[in-house]
Structure 1
Amino acid sequence: MLNLNVKNETGRLKAVVLGTAESNGPTPSLEEAYDPKSLEHIKAGTYPVEADMMKEMNALSNVFKKYDVEVFRPKLIENYNQIFARDIAFVIDDLFIKANILPDREQELEAIQYVIDQIEASKVITPPEEVHIEGGDVMVHNDHIFVGTYKGSDYKNYITARTNTHGVNFIKELFPNKTVKEFDLVKSKIEPRDNALHLDCCFQPVGNNKGIIYKSGFREEADYMYLVDLFGKENLFHIQREEMYHMYSNVFSIAPDVVVSERNFTRLNNWLRDNEFTVEEIPYAEISKQEGLLRCSTMPLIRE
């Protein structure tokens, strides 16, 4: 059995689901694009190819091996994108919560059923139908849970609006003893530089008391200020619009002092090293063209 335990984003990682880029399928048509960044690369003819993405995910897998992390990979679905394991489910404390994802992605959950079968059945939660919630929008920070959402009246028109108010309330009811704080995110169907697809596209904690943040990713300044007050401005690395576009805040922590980051994130990686983090730099720029990076392609199951 897997004894799940995830209380924050940075505790020492013991077990994780890592997506796969194998048999990723053909380049989508413009109509099939789920987000503005993929759309941009499909139009430009620079959409990533399978071989390059497999290399990048292997580099991440090798870092996990180095730190003795148990890695589960999804069963292969032919010609299908299974990179972003974070979207389909997430763990808080000892509960495995399935995301009610876009209906045409249900197969992705089936592909990790062999992992779910190793979890005590009472710990596997399936939210009711009206709840929309994706793992990229959910962050555990000890006694806090941060949840990204979109409160615009045009929610249903945005395929980039992934977690609704029902989703936020569902988490509040499930964890009455934690402080559940929602964040209203900026969304755009057409400009990836102004689209926070998930909360982890504009914020993520690192270490015990630090974080990476993009101020303009929040629709309300009060939401941004909430994090500044909680973490302290001096503990936050502020990223710029173009850095948000390259997904600087979507790194992944293996331990409080170990962060896996994209090798081109020079300014961030230098700041992390200046703050005494070990930075495991790997290539991940091709995967980022689909508006997801290291956190998006991982689903932690057990952290110390």
Structure 2
Amino acid sequence: MKLNIQNETSRLRAVVLGTAKSVGPVPSIEEAYDPKSVEHIKAGTYPKEADMVKEMEAVAKVFEKYNVKVYRPKVIEDYNQIFSRDIAFVIEDKFIKANILPDREGEYQAIQHVIEQIDKDKVIVLPEECHVEGGDVMPWNDYIFIGTYTGADYPDYITARTNIEAVKAIQELFPQKTVKAFELRKSNTNAKENALHLDCCFQPIGKDKAILHKNGFLVESEYEWLVNFFGKDKVFEITKEEMYNMNSNVFSISEDVIISERNFTRLNTWLRDNGFTVEEVPYAEIAKQEGLLRCSTLPLIRD
């Protein structure tokens, strides 16, 4: 398999879509990885497996409609394998293993049948001190945008997933690219004040547009840099509530086709007004785990 990912929006040809089959019992509060899941565990509204399976099958159908080759992880009993973006990511022709939370290692093993089809030289395992997850890494042509957190209290945040060592390692892997890092706002306890990954508060769409949430960025000048990079008239700014509901976490099949959650009324209207085809799917149950469409997909090949 010849990998090719230059950006977030070129025509998709192959992707790993996570699975919600056999996700296991509702986790305890101690087992949860993010504040939003904790909220739903406490409220008794944590998503049910059957509902999540249905939501993911709706996405699989959209991929089928657009002739995208879809790989799925091998199902591990009682194990959450929804968020395939966390475990690895592709830049150019390199498949980079994410150094994830140790108890998620099984998720990576479950896509070995995909990894075996890739040239061994192109599979990169970063040094142990590099913490990174795919939701924080966005190839955008000559740039690689990376969400990070460099505070001295980094180890205290289970929501801080990508460190500065990983940013440096990715810059070394792609010396010809401009790697631009963004400090994200982190909270272990308040989902509305937590940008778990960069794609929770930002995503490029189309050829030259972006979805953004200002409060997700710790440093205002870094947010302003993105606004200037894309141009104010090409940015859709989402509210705190919309960020909480994961509005920036849509997924592009091409420069003009976007999969989006059906309840994102304001965003979907704006997308259509700007010439996008919007494929609406139900994904509100999966969103309860602080992840949405981009989080549950791992693109392998784009034109």
State the TM-score, normalizing by the size of structure 2: 1.00
Aligned to 1:301: 300
Structure 1 alignment gaps of length 5 or more: none
Q: Aligned equivalents of 2:151 and 2:189: distance in 1? A: 16
Aligned to 1:205: 204
Aligned to 1:29: 28
**AA partner of residue 29 (structure 1):** S
CA deviation string 1:225-270 (max 9, x = no partner): 1101110011000000000000000000000000000000000000
CA deviation string 1:137-165 (max 9, x = no partner): 00010000000001111000111000001
CA deviation string 1:64-121 (max 9, x = no partner): 0000000000001000000000000000000000001011111111000010000000
> Offset of 1:211 from its aligned partner?
0.4
Aligned to 1:123: 122
Aligned to 2:38: 39
Aligned to 2:264: 265
**AA partner of residue 164 (structure 1):** N
Aligned to 1:163: 162
Q: Aligned equivalents of 1:284 and 1:152: distance in 2? A: 33
Aligned to 1:66: 65
Question: Are 2:60 and 1:89 equivalent residues in the alignment?
Answer: no
Q: Aligned equivalents of 1:30 and 1:160: distance in 2? A: 14
**Within-5 A mapping of 1:134-283:** 134-283=133-282
SS in 2 for 1:255: coil
**AA partner of residue 192 (structure 1):** A
Q: Structure 1 segments of 4 or more deviating over 3 A?
A: none
Q: Aligned equivalents of 1:244 and 1:107: distance in 2? A: 29
Aligned to 1:289: 288
Q: Aligned equivalents of 1:41 and 1:224: distance in 2? A: 30
Q: Aligned equivalents of 1:63 and 1:251: distance in 2? A: 13
Question: Are 2:1 and 1:5 equivalent residues in the alignment?
Answer: no
SS in 1 for 2:211: strand
SS in 2 for 1:37: helix
**AA partner of residue 73 (structure 1):** R
Q: Aligned equivalents of 1:82 and 1:51: distance in 2? A: 14
Q: Aligned equivalents of 1:163 and 1:302: distance in 2? A: 24
Aligned to 2:74: 75
Q: Aligned equivalents of 2:176 and 2:214: distance in 1? A: 28
SS in 1 for 2:288: helix
Give aligned-pair identity as a percent: 69
Question: Are 2:88 and 1:108 equivalent residues in the alignment?
Answer: no
Q: Aligned equivalents of 1:241 and 1:228: distance in 2? A: 17
Q: Aligned equivalents of 2:280 and 2:54: distance in 1? A: 14
Aligned to 2:47: 48
SS in 2 for 1:15: strand
SS in 1 for 2:266: helix
Q: Aligned equivalents of 2:160 and 2:258: distance in 1? A: 28
Q: Aligned equivalents of 1:216 and 1:30: distance in 2? A: 26
State the TM-score, normalizing by the size of structure 1: 0.99
Q: Aligned equivalents of 1:172 and 1:233: distance in 2? A: 28
**AA partner of residue 236 (structure 1):** V
Q: Aligned equivalents of 2:121 and 2:293: distance in 1? A: 29
Q: Aligned equivalents of 1:28 and 1:134: distance in 2? A: 21
SS in 1 for 2:253: strand
